Chain A
Amino acid sequence: AQSVSQHNHHVILSEAASLELGCNYSYGGTVNLFWYVQYPGQHLQLLLKYFSGDPLVKGIKGFEAEFIKSKFSFNLRKPSVQWSDTAEYFCAVNAPDNNDMRFGAGTRLTVKP
C-alpha cells in the first residue's frame, strides 16, 4: 500500500520568504499526487494535483509542486509567502486503481507578518 512522509512538522517563515515543503511517497507503481491546504477553522481544500504530463504543476494562490519520479518526491513551493498562507499543508497520494487518498501527517506553516 502507498504511504506518504512529510518531514517538516512545523515551519515558521517571515513574509516574502520562499517556501519549500517536502513530500515523499512510497509506492512502486503509477500514482496521482495532491497537495491539500487547511486554513484555521476551515475544511481541506485542494491546492494542486498531478496525474500525468508536465511534472511541474501550478496550483492556486501561487503554489507549485514538482514531481520527481526518481526521488519519489512531490515538494510544494512558493517563491514568496504571505501571512494569509498560514495553514496546515497535507500531501496525499492515490493509486490509479484506488481512490483512497493516503495522507501525510501534515506540515504546519506559520508566516510571521
Chain B
Amino acid sequence: EAGVAQSPRYKIIEKRQSVAFWCNPISGHATLYWYQQILGQGPKLLIQFQNNGVVDDSQLPKDRFSAERLKGVDSTLKIQPAKLEDSAVYLCASSLDMGTYSGNTIYFGEGSWLTVV
C-alpha cells in the first residue's frame, strides 16, 4: 500500500520568502492533517481536514500560514512570509476518517524539512 507522499523533502529559503508544501494522502483517506515538528519537540497539529473542509485550524498561524484541500484529496500548505522560527519539519498525515476508534490509524509522511535563513 502506498504511503503518504510529500514534496519537496528539503527546502532552504530566506526569511520573508514564501514556500509551499504538497501532500498526497493514502488513497481513500478522508482525513488529512498537517503537523509542524520543531527540532527537539513532538509534532504539533496545524490543521485538520475532513474531505475538503477544515475541521480544526486553531493552531495555524493564519497571518502567514494557509492550507487548502480543494478536491478532498491532495493538500498544499503555504507559508508567506516565512520567519526564522518556521524552521521545522512539516508532516502530512492521513487517516480513514475522523473517528478515534482502534482501527483508524493515522499514517505519517516522511516530512518536508524547511530551513529559513
Co-assembled chains A and B: yes
Residue of B nearest to A108 (CB): B40
User: A27 vs B20: C-alpha distance in the bound complex, in angstroms?
Assistant: 35
Q: C-beta contact mask, B79-114 vs A, less than 8 Å → 1, else 0?
A: 000000000000101010011111011111111000
Query: Which residues of B have CB within 8 Å of A106?
Result: 40-42
**Across the interface, do B42 and A104 meet the contact criterion of CB distance under 8 Å?**
yes
User: A90 vs B93: C-alpha distance in the bound complex, in angstroms?
Assistant: 15
User: A32 vs B103: C-alpha distance in the bound complex, in angstroms?
Assistant: 12
A81 CB to nearest chain B CB (Å): 22
Tell me the B48-99 residues at the A interface (CB within 8 Å): 48, 56, 91, 93, 95, 98-99
- Given the contacts A4-B42, A94-B100, A99 and B111 also touching, CB distance less than 8 Å: no
- Given the contacts A43-B109, A43-B111, A46-B105, A98 and B100 also touching, CB distance less than 8 Å: yes
**Across the interface, do A103 and B44 meet the contact criterion of CB distance under 8 Å?**
yes
Which bracket fits the contact residues of A?
20 to 34
**Across the interface, do A100 and B48 meet the contact criterion of CB distance under 8 Å?**
yes
Tell me the A84-104 residues at the B interface (CB within 8 Å): 90, 92, 94-101, 103-104
User: Contact partner of B42 among A42, A90, A96, A97, CB < 8 A?
Assistant: A90
B27 CB to nearest chain A CB (Å): 17
**Across the interface, do A99 and B106 meet the contact criterion of CB distance under 8 Å?**
yes
User: A107 vs B26: C-alpha distance in the bound complex, in angstroms?
Assistant: 28
Tell me the A61-94 residues at the B interface (CB within 8 Å): 90, 92, 94
**Across the interface, do B108 and A44 meet the contact criterion of CB distance under 8 Å?**
yes
Q: Does B28 contact A (CB under 8 A)?
A: no
**Across the interface, do A51 and B102 meet the contact criterion of CB distance under 8 Å?**
yes
Q: What are 20 pairs between A and B in contact, CB < 8 Å? A: A43-B4, A43-B110, A43-B111, A44-B43, A44-B93, A45-B108, A46-B106, A49-B105, A52-B102, A94-B100, A96-B100, A98-B100, A99-B95, A99-B99, A100-B48, A100-B56, A101-B43, A101-B106, A103-B44, A105-B41
With A101-B45, A106-B41 given, name 18 new contacts (CB 8 A).
A43-B4, A43-B91, A43-B109, A44-B43, A44-B91, A44-B108, A45-B108, A49-B102, A49-B105, A52-B102, A98-B100, A99-B31, A99-B48, A99-B99, A100-B56, A103-B43, A105-B40, A106-B42
